[in-house]
Structure 1
């Protein structure tokens, strides 16, 4: 039986932060989901696409 993903929020997110994204390492890539509504599902990106996304966010 596969283990459950370890979803985590950024260390920059405060405990009461309303707008957070969680990430998890999945067998098929990197998962992204809305921390307010985890039951809504998630997106899965390849590691390369996730790295590109993070770079683009950091660069504005």
Structure 2
């Protein structure tokens, strides 16, 4: 694992919006690194349900996006 990849997997309590979300875009998701994977939630419903992916599933998802 590269240092860059390792650093992006460090645990964070901070949610961040998709880089595709603009300041006026109401259709976006937020993510946070958990240390063992990634949590995803709807930015319009931060207290609602979230999806949790382990690091392997998240990596596979991102690799498929780039193909």
Q: 1:8 aligns with which of 16, 36, 40?
A: 16
**Structure 1 stretches of at least 4 aligned residues deviating more than 4 Å after TM superposition:** none
Identify which of 38, 45, 48 aligns with 2:46: 38
Q: How many residues align?
A: 56
Contact 1:28 1:44 in 2 (8 A): no
In 2: Cα distance, 1:28 partner to 1:41 partner: 19
Query: Normalised by the size of structure 2, how large is the TM-score?
Result: 0.67
User: How far off is 1:36 after superposition?
Assistant: 0.5
Q: Which runs of 5+ in 2 are unaligned?
A: 1-11
State the alpha-carbon separation in 1 of the partners of residues 38 and 20 from structure 2. 19
Confirm or deny: 8 A CA contact 2:36 2:54 kept in the other structure: yes
Instruction: State the superposition RMSD in angstroms.
Output: 1.8
Unaligned residue ranges in structure 1 (runs of 5+): none
Once residues 48 and 36 of structure 2 are traced to their aligned partners in structure 1, the CA distance between those partners, rounded to angstroms, is 18
